[in-house]
Every structure is written in C-alpha cells, then in structure tokens.
Amino acid sequence: MVDPLAEVIALLRPRAVYSKVISGAGAWAVRYAEFGQPSFCTMLEGECILAVDGQQPITLMAGDFLLMPATPGFTMSAVAPAAPVWIDPKAGPVPEGEIRHGHPEGPPDVRMLGGYFAFDSPDAALMVSLLPAVLHVRGIGRLPLLVQLVREESTAQRPGRELVLGRLIEVLLIETLRGAPTEGAPPGLLRALADTRLAAAMRHMHGEPARAWTVVELAKKAALSRSAFFERFSRAVGLPPMEYLLAWRMAIAKDLLSRGGVALAEVAERVGYSSASTFSTAFSRHVGQAPGRYARRSPP
C-alpha cells in the first residue's frame, strides 16, 4: 500500500543543502527575518531559547532536533536575556566557517549544527502547508547522525553529491515527521495519518489518484459514515476530502509537467481525467494557466 507521507516528501524534491556550526557564549540573542525556505538545527551541546513568530518559546537542549519547513521569523538566544542582533538571511554572502554569537573568545556555552535547503517541487507551498510550522523532536538518536552526514556531504565535492544530499534530506524529513508528536498537532498530514481510519482512506487516495473517488467510497475505506468521514477528514487535514484529492492530483500533474517528456494525454490519464481537454480545463481553473504554458515556463 502507498505511504502518503513518503509520497509527499518525494514530491517536495529537496536539494541544495547548506550547513554551518553555530556557537554562543555569555548573553546573546539574534533575530532572524522570515526566510521562507526549510531550515534545520541539531543541538550538539548546551541549551538556548528559540522563539518562533506565532509559537510558544522552546528550550532547545543537547540532542534536540528542530525543523521548520518554511522558516518564519524567529529569535534565538542564550538563557540569559540580551538585546537581539538583527540578521537577514537573504542579504549578504553566506558566512564561511563557524558562526559565533556573544563573547567571541573562550569556550562556547552552546553549540549547534544548523542549515537550510530548498524544495524543487513546483507545488511546495501546498505540501509544506500540510506540515507543522515547527517540528521539535527530542531523543531520536538517528537524527544527529543524519545531520552530520548531510554536513559532510554538503561540504565535499564528490561525484553524485546532489543525489546523495537529496536522499539524505528525504530521510531526515521522514525521521523528523515520524518522531514528531501528533497529539495537539495542527490540521495537516501528520494529524490525519495519526488517525488510523483517515490514514486508510488517504492511502487509497494516494495509491489510486486516477480513480473516480467519491466521498461515499472513501468513507467506506475509513469504515465511517459519509457525514462522519467528511467532518473528521476536513477537521484533521484542513481541507475537505475532494478538495484535498484535487490538490493532490494537481500536484502530481505539476510535477509531471515540470519534468517534461510526458504527453498531455498521459498526464491527464494519470490524474483521473478522461481526456486531455477536460484535464486542461480543470488544470487551467486550478492553476491559473494552461498545462502547455505551465510546462514551457517550468525550469528543466
């Protein structure tokens, strides 16, 4: 059976990893502007406070891992209060070597390995909207190892580097989402997959996106009444079932069109449309431009 979580991660197509060692000593604080791209951090030693816009502050300790799929503005600081230094991650060259906050000399109180990457998916915004804004995971031993492998691969220039980095980030994302708490999670993929009945329906939707699903058929897969399934799915995912299915079909179509080499009729068939013309009409309505034009404007 198809795994919706793995499908979403694969469709995001992560690439272009950058990582750095960050340390701090004494009283320090930095304020980062909204970045928008995914970022991650694993704590090597010590502890610090992370305050993400719109979220409760988090104390990060050695062994913790943090992932923000679409990094908003945030403040990171030592436990001791300090006036934050403003940093715009989109301005200026990427710093080389270790980044130091607070006292420049002497042993650090805190050290972490942080970094960011990008998603190549033409529909990354939809996929990211299904994930929590902040994923804070504690006690997953494989995550620091994966981050270290990501750093080693990103700083080397070995054959197959981009492919290896892409696969490592995919594994990193899956391990993070596996370890993330689902209780109290916001509407999205994790919350839906934590519900065994909804997860059964989602596996069928992802496994056969071309099938002419109805809410009644999906409710049967979830062993729920139509009304109970509709309400439960909408509340857990944040989208009604048919709206989610349409969005997923169009995400697949965008991916196929952006890669090139697939005939329009085949794209239509693979996402559940009886002809290229009916698909073109639906795609144009959903995306705002015709499939052919979308394919020509997409990077190779």
Same-domain pairing of 164 and 216: no
Give the CATH number, domain containing residue 263: 1.10.10.60
Residue 184 in domain: no
- β-strand pairing of 39-45 with 110-119: antiparallel
Domain boundary among 161, 179, 197: 179
What is the average per-residue pLDDT within 17-28?
91
What is the average per-residue pLDDT within 93-99?
76
Same-domain pairing of 127 and 193: no
Question: d(Cα 198, Cα 219) in Å, to the nearest integer?
Answer: 9
269: enclosing H helix or E strand: helix 264-270
Same-domain pairing of 281 and 216: yes
Q: DSSP 3-state assignment of 267? A: helix
Quick count: other Cβ atoms within 10 Å of Cβ 106? Answer: 9
Same-domain pairing of 201 and 172: no
pLDDT tens track for 50-62: 999 999 999 999 9
Q: DSSP 3-state assignment of 186? A: coil
Give the CATH number, domain containing residue 69: 2.60.120.280
Q: DSSP 3-state assignment of 19? A: strand
Residue 11 in domain: yes
What domain range includes position 269?
189-297
How many distinct structural domains can be found in the chain? Answer: 2
Domain boundary among 179, 206, 222: 179
Residue 97 in domain: yes
Domain boundary among 132, 148, 179: 179
Same-domain pairing of 50 and 197: no
What is the average per-residue pLDDT within 185-200?
90
Residue whose token pair is 């990094």: 71
Same-domain pairing of 171 and 210: no
Question: d(Cα 249, Cα 270) in Å, to the nearest integer?
Answer: 9
pLDDT tens track for 225-284: 999 999 999 999 999 999 999 999 999 999 999 888 889 999 999 999 999 999 999 999
Same-domain pairing of 16 and 147: yes
Q: Is the pLDDT of residue 98 over 60?
A: yes
